[in-house]
Amino acid sequence: MKIGILTSGGDCAGMNPAIKMFIETCFNRKITPYLIYDGLEGLIDNKIKKAKRLDASGLIYRGGTILRSSRSARFYDHAYRQIAFENLQKKGIKKLIVLGGDGSFRALNQFYTDFGIDFIGIPSTIDNDIYGTEYCLGVDTALNVIRQAIDDIRDTVASFRRAFIIETMGRECGYLALVSALTCGAEVCIIPELEFDLPSIEKRLKKELKEGRTYAIAITAEGSTISEKLNAWFETTIGLESRITKLGHIQRGGNPTVFDRLMAAEFVLFALNRLGENSQNHHIIVYTKGAFAFMTIDETNNHRYTISPSLLKMGEELCR
């Protein structure tokens, strides 16, 4: 059996540990592993290499992906998917593992529909916004990067009478911002999923300032598009000098946490076990209620991811 692995879309910590586990497990099971570089573009450009055991060396602690990644407009054209299929056919590869997000899974699902190339998707995005799974690879590392940044900023903000707005990634999903705010002791959190009440926050903060508070930390999700407005609000309404820190792509980097390394291994083993069966596969792995399962692409595409109600309930106190 020959199986290829690729990483697609945004990179995240945990991809390299997953690649390492894939290579080593394939050799242990007498499966021939192939590495596909540059994501979907690599399928088209035939950047497909038979893996060696040595390729797994030194990956466990590295962030990002040694396979590199891409977003491919060409892959939406059937002619280019045909080229990709022929590249795989020449090497005898009939099964793929893709680490990516919903866009990558949709692309591979179309590839499966066209040519019958089996694949298993491993949810890998710090946005944690894929329906059906409570956890995506890379999220724990991103949260720890954010936590470290907030803790460092707190050292300086506590030294002045200031407010700091810290903006996290996540596209339209506020998961990173909400969890970071709850676990780092922020005074304010604004995310797309929750309505906020600035007059109520004003009343609360002014009362705390009167009682001795000297600074405030606000966490915002990039999808809320409010950081600049909130910065001006802190200065003109609350009376605190204010600064904005947009963490940006630093959240996608860093060496993977223990949890992300462990989850990478479990995701890959679960995928290889499934691909070893004869049944047709065009599914993604989901992790929910402490267990792994499979879900069809249609199921994930037909529903919108939502943050758990319990987390949202906890966050309500920070946005009013």
Which one-letter amino acid corresponds to residue 170? G
DSSP per-residue codes, 207-275: HHHHTT---EEEEEEGGG--HHHHHHHIIIII--EEEEEE-GGGGG-SPPPHHHHHHHHHHHHHHHHHH
| Count helices and strands in the chain by DSSP H and E runs | 11, 11
| For helices 139-157 and 258-275, angle between their N-to-C axes, nearest 10 degrees | 170
Q: Which of 38, 55, 102, 127 is catalytic?
A: 127
Q: In this structure, are strands 32-36 and 48-50 parallel, antiparallel, or unpaired?
A: antiparallel
Q: Going edge to edge, which strands form the sheet with 216-221?
A: 188-190, 216-221, 162-168, 241-246
Distances (CA, A) of 239 to 61, 64, 65, 215, 319: 44, 41, 45, 11, 19
From the centroid of its chain, how far is CA 236? Answer: 36
Residue 277 has what DSSP assignment?
A: S
Distance in angstroms (rounded) separating the CA atoms of residues 164 and 55:
43
Cβ–Cβ under 8 Å, residues 271 and 285: yes
Rounded-to-integer distance, Cα 320 and Cα 307, Å: 19
Return the percent helix, strand and coil in the chain, to nearest 5.
Answer: 45, 20, 35
Active site residue 151: no
167: burial class by Cβ within 10 Å (0-12, 13-18, 19+)?
A: buried
What residues are labeled active site? 127
